[in-house]
Amino acid sequence: MSTETPSRKPDAEQQQAGDADELPPFTEQLSQQLGGVKGVVEAAVPITLFVVLNPLLPEQMGPLSGLQWSIVISAASALGIAAWRAIRKESIRHALNGLFGIALGAFLAWRSTDARNFYLPGIIQGSVYGVLLIVSALVRHPVIGWIYAVVAQGGKKEWRENKPLVDVLSKITILWGVVFLIKNAVRIWLYWIDADNALGLMTLLGGWPVTIALTAFTIWAVRRRMRAVEALNAA
């Protein structure tokens, strides 16, 4: 009877295969990071309420102005979502994202009685993000690459040794940075001309919809590039 032992992969190769099997697809990992559709919606509720209510409410409603009521309602919605999640023993991280995202802007708008200032911290933050994204790509440490490593590779750094992957992630990071700078340049212009309603609409359209579109493009571009490299290596 043959006692031949089945061939085995080396330990490192086995570990790699095991990690690949255990690692969820990129989209699934990304959904977990964003909290899924529910997390995205919950994070967007407070700002959406402010954008919708501010132009609709009258200038004065009892002890508060329409602007102040808009701020109160949007902040209360973020607190309500967080409380509901806490009661259900769910993570409140994404709900708090909505609250933190409007806290400083709400304070500035309340103190100044100027609705434009509700959006000012987000404009500054987005512009800084745009610059940092581009700079990170130029020094070959693209931010989107590090995010990719966390989301798609469990935090591993192997992508740094994959030049084609670094190249494509650098280009994608520059794209993210340029988009951030363009949309915030438009918001700065709307802020400057005192178009607070248009500024609110631009904030909504340039927020999650743009982020989701950029994310989808990133996933497609990375997979397309890696398939091309694998095909070239196999030839």
DSSP string, 40-69: HHHHHHHHHHHHHHHHHS-SEETTEEHHHH
Q: Is 210 inside any structural domain?
A: yes
Residue 86: CB partners within 8 Å, gap ≥ 6? Answer: 92
**Residue 13: Cβ within 10 Å count:** 10
Q: Is 19 inside any structural domain?
A: no
Q: Is 17 inside any structural domain?
A: no
Q: Is 141 inside any structural domain?
A: yes
Same domain, 130 and 180: yes
- Of residues 180, 75, 60, the one with CA closest to residue 122: 180
Same domain, 97 and 139: no
Same domain, 182 and 226: yes
Q: Is 4 inside any structural domain?
A: no
Q: Which of the residues in the chain have pLDDT under 50? A: 1-23
Same domain, 123 and 232: yes
Residue ending a domain, choose from 76, 91, 117: 117
**pLDDT score for 185:** 96
d(CA 152, CA 80): 32
Task: Determine contact, residues 184/126, Cβ cutoff 8 Å.
Answer: yes
* pLDDT tens sequence across 150-197: 776 666 777 888 888 899 999 999 999 999 999 999 999 999 999 989
Task: Determine contact, residues 223/81, Cβ cutoff 8 Å.
Answer: no
Q: Is 28 inside any structural domain?
A: yes
Same domain, 105 and 48: yes
Residue 197: CB partners within 8 Å, gap ≥ 6? Answer: 54, 55
Residue 196: CB partners within 8 Å, gap ≥ 6? Answer: 54, 114, 115, 116, 119, 190
Helix axes 208-234, 36-56, angle to 10 degrees: 150
- When divided into structural domains, the chain yields a total of 2
**pLDDT score for 154:** 65
Task: Determine contact, residues 53/61, Cβ cutoff 8 Å.
Answer: no
pTM of the model: 0.75
Q: Which two tokens stand for residue 87?
A: 């009661």
Same domain, 68 and 162: no
Residue ending a domain, choose from 117, 148, 169: 117
What is the sign of the dihedral through the CA atoms of 208, 193, 104 and 82?
A: negative
Residue ending a domain, choose from 96, 117, 138: 117
Q: Is 227 inside any structural domain?
A: yes
Same domain, 199 and 148: yes
**pLDDT score for 20:** 38
**pLDDT score for 188:** 96
Same domain, 131 and 108: no
Domain range enclosing 42:
24-117
Same domain, 82 and 134: no
Same domain, 109 and 129: no
Residue 120: CB partners within 8 Å, gap ≥ 6? Answer: 105, 108, 191
